[in-house]
Amino acid sequence: MKEPFVTYEKLQEIVAKYPTPFYLYDEKGIRENAKAVKEAFAWNKGFREYFAVKATPNPFLINILKEYGCGCDCSSMTELMMSDALGFSGEEIMFSSNDTPAEEFAFADKIGATINLDDFTHIDFLEKTIGKIPETISCRFNPGGVFKISNSIMDNPGDAKYGFTKEQLFEGFKILKEKGAKRFGIHAFLASNTVTNDYYPTLAKTLFETVVELKEATGCDIRFINLSGGVGIPYTPDQKPNDIRAIGEGVRKVYEEVLVPAGLGDVAIYTEMGRFMMGPYGCLVTKAIHEKHTYKEYIGVDACAVNLMRPAMYGAYHHITVMGKDNSVCDHKYDITGSLCENNDKFAIDRMLPKIDMGDLLVIHDTGAHGYSMGYNYNGKLKSAEILLKEDGSFELIRRAETPKDYFATFDCFDILKNMKDPK
């Protein structure tokens, strides 16, 4: 079983002030995890975790990570703007995007972010856009084929739209050096949400060996190797969580075996973990508001796929706790549904849970990353509030819920909706 990080009594206190649905985040868990990541890679002098802003773009939460030396991994203009506004600057921001508009490259350069190029053709595009090649530059590597750990296929990089081929990478480094780049980095993301301590060390070996070849072939001054994300979390109760300290030690061993003998013992290691940094420390809180007895048993809640689209989009599993019924037998089979005009708007299908009564509070676990951030407004549904459960047991609103005024805001330059009535 998964235990919520919030008690039933505390949740009732929060719900009395802020109506469901809402996202709730665990400050204590976030801090402990950020500290563990920092310690796991303390052996590397230049280590930095660049939190993937796309996972949970909330400035209150990002500021917590900033206290532990984290930077920001950005992939869009608004993510760059948020990071800049929060006081991150220069090498504290990594800009890893694809199919990148010129204005985003220009702004990334303006604020001094490290630009990580996704494609060989972006070398000329970047130079034409900003009139130069930055002195510090990175390239994203895609080795193609399938990515395996032992005999298990983890993912298929060859089908991914991201990155340079190996041949393009070597040629790209030579061209970038000729155009004035002085400091280089390499980046790769080969598998998503891995729940194994072997992923980073295996990826590191591939990148480290590639960097040794690059150094020999191009003479480029390679300053950092970015392992990107991919370190996952156990969404199902039977999965064993990753051990970040074991992962850090595994990377250290490969570093000592491959880079140090090649004279590259001062290369910095970077990571870009979003899911691992925040996923387990957020939950979606929702209330049972309807029950339906037809060909199946349904429980309708006041959240929907607008609030959390992963189950509808990927068929993803998210554990559900019926609060206040922890010791009850899970002897009822339910589909837990939202109210969208889409049949895939379900948080769980044929899930065994305790008997659910109207008004019961449900906690949907592990939504702290790629949860709120993937929300949308289909059916005119509004995005929920975000609340931080603080270490001292108090709680704070860190994003208000959307209102109809927010939904209609992009019509504010027209008169067409001027006669709209306020439902209240």
Catalytic: which of 72, 74, 304, 341?
Answer: 341
What dihedral angle (degrees, nearest 10) is formed by the CA atoms of 144, 150, 154, 158? Answer: 10
Closest Cα to residue 133, out of 144, 125, 141, 142?
125
Tokens of 44: 């590397």
In angstroms, the CA 352 to CA 300 distance is 15
Query: What's the chain look like in SS3?
Result: CCCCCCCHHHHHHHHHHCCCCEEEEEHHHHHHHHHHHHHHCCCCCCCEEEEEHHHCCCHHHHHHHHCCCCEEEECCHHHHHHHHHCCCCHHHEEEECCCCCHHHHHHHHHCCCEEEECCCCHHHHHHHHHCCCCCEEEEEECCCCCEEECCEEEECHHHCCCCECHHHHHHHHHHHHHCCCCEEEEECCCCCCECCCCHHHHHHHHHHHHHHHHHHHHCCCEEEEECCCCECCCCCCCCCCCCHHHHHHHHHHHHHHHHHHHCCCCCEEEECCCHHHHHHHEEEEEEEEEEEECCCEEEEECCCCCCCCHHHHHCCCCCEEECCCCCCCCCEEEEEECCCCCCCCEEEEEEEECCCCCCCEEEECCCCCCCHHHCCCHHHCCCCEEEEECCCCCEEEEECCCCHHHHCHHHCCCCCCCCCCCCC
Angle CA 185–275–24, to nearest 5: 140
Residue 341: active-site member: yes
Report the catalytic residues. Answer: 341
